[in-house]
């Protein structure tokens, strides 16, 4: 039987657990909707989100399983280190490429839900850093779905909800304590036309086969559409070092590589900052080692009466130490531009 109820997709990151508790507590037990949740988690950590939500919600709460049918009246949460997407009327679990530096990520869930369920989708973005979820919310809006956001002033981390509101003018924002009632109200109102619609591709790069790993083109689709997207800019993927394609969705800019890693501009900037910091610390270490080695060689040269050679090594030691001091000051006092 085709799933024709409302589909609520919720994305949260840092500070999102308490907001999810508030929403789960106030959702109506007999709400005619399925609720699917992605919370950013550490890959090696055990998630207790199912137990946390089950203690406060009148709905059944479960960890999503691959191939599980979507069902109204329950909450399903993404397992750690797995993307959770919607394909038709079923849930798909995969260890595909990271999106915005996360697995699970919010955008693949939202975009796949919008692609297959169009105006029946209710997208909700909660507390978190940076902007995962914004591209997904744009997809939900283009497909005719509803967009709700936790009020930035109510969120422990305002970046994610603030980004969604910035790119989706007119999106409604509520404190977490009120979002459950708003979701229940929307889920209780059926559209006048509830006929089963055909899959609704939500962005130019999703035409063709839907990639269940992430919300990006498959490699052959990227090659086929190079004329439309243009040649890749002089940027490389921070995860696999492949070339990145630049994709524009309204005011939002995203980047994707052949493998499927996908990042917004802000996430890419942050990843570059982290790699720059690592490179600077590596250079600092190398300079300290160079100074130490030159110092030992100078001492040995002086011990055998080679004062001219010793002075050469001492000059190299002083040069390396001076350069190391400059890097240390940069790293400790100012640091590279790391986002987030």
CA 128/CA 134 separation, integer angstroms: 12
| The residue to which tokens 């109510």 are assigned | 154
Q: Which residues contact 291 (CB under 8 A, 6 or more apart)?
A: 317, 318, 320, 321, 324
What distance in Å separates the CA atoms of residue 227 and residue 2, rounded to the nearest whole number? 38
Measured in whole angstroms, the distance separating CA 195 from the mean position of its chain's CA atoms is: 33
* Annotated catalytic residue 32: no
CA 13 vs CA 44, 140, 156, 160, 182: distances in Å: 16, 19, 10, 8, 21
What is the widest separation between alpha-carbon atoms in the chain? Answer: 96
- Among the options 5, 40, 115, 131, which is catalytic? 40
Contacts of 90 (CB under 8 A, 6+ apart): 67, 68, 69, 70
> Residue 317's CB: how many other CB atoms inside 10 A?
19
Query: Is 323 assigned a catalytic role?
Result: no
Q: Which 3 state secondary structure label does DSSP give 87?
A: strand
Catalytic residue among 5, 13, 26, 47: 13
Nearest to 99 by CA among 13, 158, 222, 172: 13
**The one catalytic residue among 107, 131, 132, 211:** 132
Question: Do 39 and 160 touch, CB atoms closer than 8 A?
Answer: no
Verify whether residue 40 is a known catalytic residue.
Answer: yes
> Catalytic residue numbers?
13, 40, 132
């Amino acid at each position: 039987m085709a799933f024709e109820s409302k589909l609520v997709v919720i994305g949260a990151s840092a500070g999102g657990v308490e907001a999810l508790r508030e929403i789960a507590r106030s959702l109506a037990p007999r709400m005619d909707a399925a609720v699917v949740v992605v919370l950013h988690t550490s890959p090696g950590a055990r998630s207790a989100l199912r137990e946390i939500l089950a203690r406060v919600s009148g709905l059944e709460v479960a960890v999503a399983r691959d191939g599980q049918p979507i069902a109204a009246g329950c909450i399903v949460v993404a397992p750690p280190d797995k993307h959770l997407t919607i394909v038709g009327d079923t849930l798909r679990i995969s260890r595909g490429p990271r999106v915005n530096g996360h697995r699970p990520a919010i955008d693949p869930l939202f975009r796949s839900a919008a692609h297959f369920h169009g105006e029946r989708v209710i997208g909700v973005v909660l507390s978190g850093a940076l902007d995962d979820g914004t591209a997904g919310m744009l997809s939900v809006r283009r497909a005719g779905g509803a967009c709700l956001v936790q009020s930035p002033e109510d969120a422990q981390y305002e970046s994610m909800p603030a980004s969604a509101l910035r790119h989706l003018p007119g999106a409604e924002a509520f404190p977490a304590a009120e979002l459950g009632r708003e979701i229940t109200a929307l889920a209780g109102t059926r559209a006048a036309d509830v006929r089963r619609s055909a899959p609704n591709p939500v962005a130019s790069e999703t035409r063709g086969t839907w990639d269940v790993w992430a919300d990006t083109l498959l490699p052959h689709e990227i090659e086929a559409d190079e004329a439309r997207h243009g040649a890749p800019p002089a940027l490389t993927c921070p995860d696999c070092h492949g070339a990145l394609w630049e994709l524009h969705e309204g005011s939002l800019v995203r980047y994707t590589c052949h493998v499927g890693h996908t990042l917004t501009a802000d996430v890419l900037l942050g990843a570059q900052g982290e790699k720059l910091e690592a490179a600077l610390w590596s250079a600092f270490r190398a300079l300290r080692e160079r100074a130490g080695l030159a110092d030992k060689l100078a001492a040995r040269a002086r011990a055998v009466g080679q004062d001219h050679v010793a002075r050469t090594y001492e000059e190299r030691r002083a040069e390396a130490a001076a350069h190391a001091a400059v890097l240390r000051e940069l790293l400790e006092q100012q640091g590279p531009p790391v986002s987030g």
